[in-house]
Amino acid sequence: MIKNDNVNVNANVNVNDHGLRLKNLTLPALESFALSLGEQKFRARQIFKWMYQKRLPDFSGMANMPKTLRAALAEKAVIGKLEPRRILESSAGDAVKFAFSLLGTGYAAESVLLIDGDRRTACLSSQLGCALGCKFCETAKLGLVRNLSAEEIIGQLVGINDYQAAKGDKLVTNVVFMGMGEALGNFESFRAALSIIMHGDAFNIGARRITVSTAGVVPSIERLMGEGLAIGLAISLNAWNDEARGRLMPINRKYPIESLIGAAKRYHSKTGRRVTFEYVLIEGETDTGEAAAALERLLGGFPCKINLIPVNPAACNLPAPPDGKVERFAEELHKRGLSATIRKSRGRDIMGACGQLTGVDVGVDLDVDVDVDVDVDVDVDVKIKR
């Protein structure tokens, strides 16, 4: 396990020896930088387009800018790219897992591309490891190594689009923050990354096509509401009473179910978005008739969706419901007037709740046998690209 003692959890990489790292900047910050160089604001939009639409790694190809400006930029700033250390494609062709090397470290951030009809969904990581310790989650075993910078979050998206462009396939249409880490626990980087993802001169992905998953940090949900963004909110609920949820998710001791559902209801009234509750099904624990009745008491009458996720036993040693039980549990919820869907497993449930990526590509485990990675995470038949 990687220890995080005495580690600054914030990746403070805005400036390094090579200059200002531009992918950490929102458009207004980039405009201020352009002004500081004696340039006009519109240069920032041009740079934005080159960085995110053309995905250039440096200034040399920015054809609509004078050479003198490109040279000045190269002296003071850096763009750069995250390089994929490994890319795994699921045998069904519906999921691709990436491990991106993190700048200046031996670590990797994991992301997943999900392919479904016309939709190309990027599942991004926001932290390296996670501090919240959910029992069903492999990422939790790493502890929190550190927060990712905005550049490192955005870099995953640029890398996935590079991969898609090379294949001649569509670029990413949707984004979910369900990879490694609690995105709302890294709010500043997450917020900056969101502003870039949504901007028309960058990725131009609207709020309705973005979802953030949270383990239930209530003040951060309130803070997100204050941003007025109306992105989708998915709450990792996973249990129907505080005692059981507290065992699975230690964060529940701080923000119990009632406070969490209160925050979800406020989020819905403020944004108009239907909140999704992710609910991991564990045999004999969260998949019982008592659980269904309790969910009705908790969520009946609230326009929300329950996303049922059979636990991945290979990843966390908890028993999965037997065949047919997931469907029966969904049916039971429907009878009780609740809207429930079953998460389609792509590969071997490589997505999980809010971050079931194992981190086997991360740092200390670099020498791990790839087959282990494959078995645990991406199904039994994947093609190793790199």
Instruction: Enumerate the active-site residues.
Output: 110, 354
d(CA 128, CA 65): 36
Instruction: Report in angstroms the alpha-carbon separations of 208 from 177, 205, 309, 329, 331.
Output: 13, 8, 22, 29, 28
Render 268-295 in DSSP notation, one character per residue: HHHH-PPPEEEEEE-TTTTSSHHHHHHH
Closer residue to ligand SF4 in complex, CB, 152/182: 182
Closer residue to ligand SF4 in complex, CB, 48/277: 277
Shortest reach from residue 181's CB to ligand SF4, in Å: 5
Render 298-317 in DSSP notation, one character per residue: HHTTS--EEEEEE--HHHH-
Per rule CB under 6 A, is residue 355 in the interface with ligand SF4?
yes
Shortest reach from residue 40's CB to ligand SF4, in Å: 43
Shortest reach from residue 226's CB to ligand SF4, in Å: 21
Shortest reach from residue 127's CB to ligand SF4, in Å: 8
d(CA 117, CA 352): 20
Which listed range, 87-95, 153-161, 298-306, 348-356, lies at the site for ligand SF4 (CB under 6 A)? Answer: 348-356
Tell me phi and psi for residue 20, to 5 degrees.
-70, 130
Closer residue to ligand SF4 in complex, CB, 137/150: 137
Shortest reach from residue 132's CB to ligand SF4, in Å: 4
Per rule CB under 6 A, is residue 354 in the interface with ligand SF4?
yes
Interface of this chain with ligand SF4, residues 168 to 187, rule: CB under 6 A: 181-182
Closer residue to ligand SF4 in complex, CB, 90/220: 220
Size of the site for ligand SF4 (CB under 6 A): 14
Per rule CB under 6 A, is residue 124 in the interface with ligand SF4?
no
Closer residue to ligand SF4 in complex, CB, 139/271: 139
d(CA 144, CA 130): 4
State both tokens at 248.
């699975």
Closer residue to ligand SF4 in complex, CB, 31/138: 138
d(CA 234, CA 264): 9
Per rule CB under 6 A, is residue 212 in the interface with ligand SF4?
no
Please name which of 278, 218, 276 lies closest in space to residue 251, comparing C-alpha atoms.
218
Instruction: Report in angstroms the alpha-carbon separations of 115 from 169, 171, 345.
Output: 10, 11, 12
Per rule CB under 6 A, is residue 148 in the interface with ligand SF4?
no
Shortest reach from residue 352's CB to ligand SF4, in Å: 7
Site string for ligand SF4, 126-145 (x = CB under 6 A): ----x-xxx--x-xx-----
Site string for ligand SF4, 182-211 (x = CB under 6 A): x-----------------------------
Among residues 96, 326, 353, 376, which is the contact residue for ligand SF4, using CB under 6 A? 353
User: Tokens 């500081």 correspond to what residue?
Assistant: 36
Per rule CB under 6 A, is residue 316 in the interface with ligand SF4?
no
Query: Going by DSSP bridges, is the β-strand pair 174-177/210-214 parallel, antiparallel, or unpaired?
Result: parallel
Interface of this chain with ligand SF4, residues 44 to 103, rule: CB under 6 A: none
Shortest reach from residue 6's CB to ligand SF4, in Å: 21
Shortest reach from residue 167's CB to ligand SF4, in Å: 29
Provide the residue type at 188 as one letter.
Answer: E
d(CA 230, CA 224): 9
State both tokens at 93.
């062709």
Closer residue to ligand SF4 in complex, CB, 87/234: 234
d(CA 149, CA 188): 9
Taking residue 228's Cβ as centre, other Cβ atoms within 10 Å add up to: 9
Query: Going by DSSP bridges, is the β-strand pair 144-147/127-129 parallel, antiparallel, or unpaired?
Result: antiparallel
Alpha helices in the chain (DSSP H): 27-36, 42-48, 67-76, 150-167, 187-198, 218-226, 242-248, 257-271, 289-299, 313-316, 325-335, 370-373
Q: Which residues are near ligand SF4 by CB under 6 A?
A: 130, 132-134, 137, 139-140, 181-182, 215, 236, 353-355
